[in-house]
Amino acid sequence: MGKRPSLFSTPRPIGRDDSEQAVGNASATGEAAVGVGGGRPPSRAGKRVLSIYLDPLAWKQLRQLALDSETTTQALGEEAVNLLFAKHGLNRSA
């Protein structure tokens, strides 16, 4: 059994013969989100994703805080992780 391709690898270019099939399968394969010739933005290179589930009220408060602070939820998440690391005496690396 061969090695499976990475989920984060750049999709192969779509030729003329594949274009109609790719449109139908884009939602199933995730190619629509990446796009042809796309990939991760440079700001995400070498980073890993962390997902958390929040109650709707907490998510709304986080978005509102980001708007009020003129920042992003990404920046607030990094700040939260750094505060957690500081609380536990770890280096701030987020």
**In-domain check, residue 94:** no
List Cα–Cα distances, 10 to 3, 7, 26, 42, in angstroms.
16, 9, 14, 14
> What are the residues whose beta carbons fall under 8 Å from the beta carbon of 37, sequence distance 6 or more?
10, 13
| Sign of the dihedral defined by the CA atoms of residues 2, 24, 21, 26, in that order | negative
**In-domain check, residue 29:** yes
The domain total for the chain is 2
Is 43 in the same domain as 60? no
Is 39 in the same domain as 65? no
CA angle 17, 21, 26 (to 5 degrees): 130
Q: For the chain, 94 residues long, give each residue's pLDDT as a single digit of tens.
A: 678 777 777 666 665 555 444 444 444 444 444 445 567 889 888 889 999 999 999 999 999 999 999 999 999 999 999 999 999 999 887 6
**In-domain check, residue 68:** yes
Q: Which domain holds residue 75?
A: 56-87
Question: What pLDDT is stored for residue 12 in this prediction?
Answer: 62
**In-domain check, residue 30:** yes
